[in-house]
Structure 1
Amino acid sequence: STAQTGLNNRVNAQFSIKVAVTQSGVYALGGIGVGIQNQNGVLQSVVAVLADQFAVINAAGNGYVSPFAIQGGQVFMNDAFIRDGSIINAKIANGSITSAKIGEAEVDTLRIRGNAVTVPVAYFTSEGTAGAGAGNWIDLVAVYITLDQPGMIQVQFSCSQEYNGSPNLSRFELYVEGTLVSAAGGAAVSVSPVLVGALAVGAGTFKVKARWWAESGNIVVTNKSISALGCKR
């Protein structure tokens, strides 16, 4: 250990321990140093460790465990409690989160044990479609939804229906992969029809579509919207 005062009246003190060995032409050096320096009139203390590996050893039970270690510029911890932390970039292999508040998140695949999540699909168009006569079905809108396990598909269709002159007859039908799940019409025109249905299905990809006919070209549907939601439990 040393303590000295330089010609410029700066006080410096340091203490160090080091070990070194050479074996088979390989030189290994390790040490620890504690020092106080006067930097531009400001006293600063420094503790420095020179080592290929650094660990804090805690006697636990009949042996010794290392709560954390530093190797190759990385810190390894067996267990940690952080009261308030900020992580710029994280890679977590296996995590358990009790409570989380996430402002914005992007997840490639989200799996929740016992109840997997399916993102609903939807489609909308404001394009108008005119009737072509009774029984002349016209496919209005369609979407596809995929379930990786058996479940229930819930679907909904809505639109705006307009006509000129006297009301005419029209009919809507809503299908899931060729199975009729909801129908409306066969009477005077409704200006805001809504169809809702559901169907139990197995795993696979399913087409959901709405079709329609109207007695006259004076009847036009616009603002057509269709949505499908897969429920796996």
Structure 2
Amino acid sequence: MTAPNSRHQGVPAISQTALNAVADPNVRKVLQDMATGMNVRNGTAGDGNQQFITRAELKIAGIDIASATETLKKGGGSTAPQVLKPGDVPGLLNKIQDDIRNSLLWKELGERIELIKIDVSKNGVNFFQERQERVSADAAIIIRTDQQYAVLNGNYALLQQKYTTMATDISAYAQLLTDLQVKVGQNTALIQQETSARATADGQMMAKYTIKVDLNGHVSGFGLMSEANNGATVSTFIVRADRFAIGSPNNGTAVPFVVYTTPRNLNGQIVQPGVYIESAVIADGTITTAKIGLAQVDTLLIAGNAVTVPVFNSSPSGVAGVGFGTWINVVSLNVTMNYAGWVYVHATGIITYGSGFRKTGTRLLVNGGSVAGYEVDTGYITVSHAYAFYAGAGTTTTVTLQFEGDSPSAIGNAMLYAIGAKR
């Protein structure tokens, strides 16, 4: 089978020789950026992830777009929702972070702002305005630059705005770039705002708005970017900052939501990176690890009964003896261990009898076998049996309190309690 790269021709490339022959450096830079993008889309540059692939090539690889589309229209395929488990969160979070870090917007927001070169050898002020136009059979380009700055003893403040608009047979591009720069000695403070939009005949579109702040190389900022390729549109909003907060415009002290991206020392206490919320209402949440000081829970549903949950049963009305040596079940319960561990069992009750001499007894059974018990020849005695046993994972154990006694005798207020230590 022919390799996709050798079979797929992509969008016609721009000749590098022709680019090098363009005298205007601004026009050459714009065209070079476009040519670089086309090379990536054609698969001749980059890692190949952004290469154009036709439907025919997908069909050769075993993916029939038309057939898949018809299947979706007919309601084919699985519609069952995916359930995210807490154990899936760390791996998924790493993938999400990698996806963000590899995005074009993230990388652009982290790049240093380039210093604009001006003559700082002479004190004074200067205003500069330049306009460049080029119209040919293939492209129409206009670039306008407005710049003003003030210089004193090598220190300067600068403001520059650059407007670029371009149209070709296959694309259109517009950009507004604003730079504010100040420099005193080796200290620099830079702000850059970019607004740009691009569209091509093959369905590629991009719209971007970013603001970056560069303080001696510490770059931060935020940006909104939407990209479309053959109808598939993805929009991204990214903030790159050490901390991000939302506060009330009516109450200067209310800051209910804060995000730290780096550790911070607050009054001697290190605040680790994370999201800090004063109050949250969450309809549905998946949590891998939680540290909770005080929790109020209406209903607790825990998968696999994977915590220490007590099991209880009682027989408050009492059971009468029908003869010493005849055992009667008083109260029972089942203990299910989804994880292996120890189970503690405690049984209690009160034995009563009429006048005269009576013999009674009680015993505790685990899966039908007696593990604790005693017999007495008196009355009005409090019964207390305690026992512990080890249960394997996935097992269910039946625990029973039994009673024997002459007539008339009885056991009342019987209770059976069990708790599994699963951690």
Offset of residue 108 of structure 1: 1.6
Choose which of 367, 371, 384 in structure 2 pairs with 1:181.
Answer: 371
Confirm or deny that 1:109 pairs with 2:296: no
Post-superposition offset of 1:145: 0.2
Output aligned runs, 1:96-135, within 5 Å: 97=290, 99-105=291-297, 106-109=300-303, 117-135=307-325
Contact 2:348 2:384 in 1 (8 A): yes
Mark the runs of 5 or more structure 1 residues left unpaired by the alignment.
1-14, 34-47, 59-66, 69-75
The unaligned stretches of length 5 or more in structure 2 are 1-177, 179-192, 212-221, 227-235, 245-258, 263-272
In structure 1, the partner of 2:280 is 87
2:350–2:413: 8 Å Cα contact kept in structure 1? yes
Amino acid at match of 2:225: A
With the length of structure 1 as denominator, give the TM-score of the two structures.
0.64
Residue identity over aligned pairs, in percent, reads 22
CA RMSD of aligned residues (A): 3.6
Richer in strand (by share) = 1
Higher RCO (Cα < 8 Å, 6 or more apart): 1
The 8 Å contact of residues 315 and 330 in structure 2, kept in 1 or not, is answered as no
2:172 corresponds to which residue? none
3-state SS of 2:377 partner: strand
Give 2:420's match in structure 1, choosing from 227, 230, 233: 230
Q: 1:210 aligns with which of 377, 401, 408?
A: 401
* CA spacing shift, 1:213–1:57, aligned 2, 3 Å: closer
Do the aligned residues in 2 keep the contact of 1:181 with 1:198 (CA within 8 Å)?
A: no
Q: Is the 8 A contact 2:365 2:400 kept in 1?
A: yes
Q: Structure 2 vs 1, CA of residues 152 and 137 (structure 1 numbering), >3 Å: closer, same or farther?
A: same
Q: 1:195 aligns with which of 372, 377, 385?
A: 385
Residue 139 of structure 1 corresponds to 329
Which structure dedicates a bigger proportion of its chain to helix? Answer: 2
Distance 2:385 2:367 in 1: 16
In the alignment, is the contact (CA less than 8 A) between 1:137 and 1:212 conserved in 2?
yes
Could you report, residue by residue, the CA deviation over 1:181-220 in whole angstroms, capped at 9, with x for unpaired residues?
Answer: 210224222432111122334331100001111011x212
Please say if 1:54 is aligned against 2:237.
yes
CA deviation string 1:83-132 (max 9, x = no partner): 5543322634544x5x5313224352389xxxx63312110121221110
1:159 equivalent in alignment to 2:334? no
Work out the number of aligned pairs and report it.
184
Counterpart position of 1:148: 338
Letter in structure 1 aligned against 2:303 = T
Residues 1:220 and 2:410 are matched in the alignment: yes
Aligned partner of 1:22 in structure 2 is 199
Q: In 2, Cα distance between the equivalents of 1:147 and 1:194? A: 24
Q: AA paired with 1:126? A: P
CA offset digits 1:3-49 (Å, max 9, x no partner): xxxxxxxxxxxx9863222212565433469xxxxxxxxxxxxxx97
Query: 2-side partners of 1:152 and 1:81: how far apart?
Result: 37
Compute the displacement of 1:77 (Å): 9.4
The 3 A distance-change label for structure 1 pair 137 and 77 is same
Contact preservation (8 Å) 2:260, 2:275:
no
Distance 2:422 2:286 in 1: 27
Aligned partner of 1:42 in structure 2 is none
Contact 1:181–1:199 (8 Å) recurs in 2: no
**What is the rounded CA distance, in whole Å, between the counterparts of 2:208 and 2:355 in structure 1?**
96
Shift of 1:133: 0.6
Moved over 6 A (4+): 76-79
Rg (Cα) greater in structure: 2
